[in-house]
Structure 1
């Protein structure tokens, strides 16, 4: 891992995650740290040229929340809205990879209500929240694929956010 920094970018650059106390604490006492995977520059030359952090081929932004005792309480994975349009238009597919990774069974999913002006894209409308508990962790995943009110052309909602929390964490 590399690219350690306070998630709000307010603090100084961090040499590694153990400097978490340099980041401001939130109301719950947790300190959020942004980090990246070290990329293989050689591989990036032959792949799609995206030089950011990826999970299952999807550009993502990673943050973790660390308690004062140094315990990592949660991991947040959010598809990167600054990725190339080609990669960004496939962001919703990351949810399938997350389900495969944690197992397809025992997910509790609910469709979120459609708001005024939200419409389908190519006949698809996805606005869903899913949860699962496994191996001492709770997962919460939201998947979006729709055109929001006032969005036109190449502007639309296509994202996945995943929060993995220690089950004993609040």
Structure 2
């Protein structure tokens, strides 16, 4: 059928058809680039930060969002957290580019802009403000509310963040394995890292992949396979050097 169509069109018709296809493709505009947590600027006030975010809420130290907020300007309504002494506002990335791609049937592009992610892994991103509304910290924690595979590979976000801040040096410590802690798929990761950017901003990262004592893949009583019983994830914190944090290389979560 294709050969018959080409014969009917002839060279002139084929060129016209290709030109029409190219013109249609050119009519599709590029999606608007979206802001990510890496574009937040330590030391600037809330009203000078990117505004292309959505679903603002008080944060819970990297956990699910709490009370909904209108934007970073509502930081004072969020309680001061114990770990840093700062007000945490969590947020999600703008989904305009994702829906643009879906509308144009561009699934690969839609996947690239799907959700709030770091290295294609779902994260909970948040901004940390002092009492004066100055950004003092940025946090990104892998989101457990994902697929089983997504949870297992969450430790790979650490590699993505290493590359983001390369070649800044990292000082990493492998924490001792506690009694009862075992590998997941022959891997056991308990690593805490600290570093400094070229601007002197502190870097903190915790990476985990293990089963804690009592977490068994096969339930010893029922024999049921419980592949979801493990600890995995990456916690990243970018912090103003004027502030300290409890989550240093000596902490074993």
Q: What is the TM-score with the length of structure 1 in the denominator?
A: 0.88
Give how far 1:30 is off: 2.1
Structure 1 contact 30–66 (Cα < 8 Å) conserved:
yes
1:41 counterpart residue number: 99
Q: Counterpart of 1:127 in 2: which secondary structure?
A: strand
Structure 1 contact 29–68 (Cα < 8 Å) conserved:
no
Higher helix share: 2
CA 1:167–1:83 in 2, change beyond 3 Å: closer, same or farther? Answer: same
Question: Gaps (5+ residues) in structure 1?
Answer: none
Range with bigger deviation, 84-93 or 45-54: 45-54
2:25 counterpart residue number: none
Q: Counterpart of 1:75 in 2: which secondary structure?
A: strand
What's the RMSD between the two structures over aligned residues?
Answer: 2.3
Q: Counterpart of 2:243 in 1: which secondary structure?
A: coil
Give how far 1:25 is off: 2.8
For residues 102-117 of structure 1, the aligned pairs below 5 Å read 102-104=165-167, 106-117=169-180
Return the index of the structure with the highest Cα Rg.
Answer: 2
2:141 counterpart residue number: 78
Distance 1:146 1:49 in 2: 29
CA deviation string 1:114-134 (max 9, x = no partner): 111101122211100011111
Structure 2 contact 190–208 (Cα < 8 Å) conserved:
yes
2:203 counterpart residue number: 139
Q: Counterpart of 1:90 in 2: which secondary structure?
A: helix
Structure 2 contact 168–196 (Cα < 8 Å) conserved:
no
Distance 2:120 2:172 in 1: 24
CA 1:121–1:97 in 2, change beyond 3 Å: closer, same or farther? Answer: same
Question: Gaps (5+ residues) in structure 2?
Answer: 1-52, 218-226, 245-253
Structure 2 contact 112–120 (Cα < 8 Å) conserved:
no
CA 1:104–1:152 in 2, change beyond 3 Å: closer, same or farther? Answer: farther
For residues 18-167 of structure 1, the aligned pairs below 5 Å read 18-26=73-81, 30-39=86-95, 40-43=98-101, 46=107, 52-104=115-167, 106-134=169-197, 135-153=199-217, 154=227, 155-167=229-241
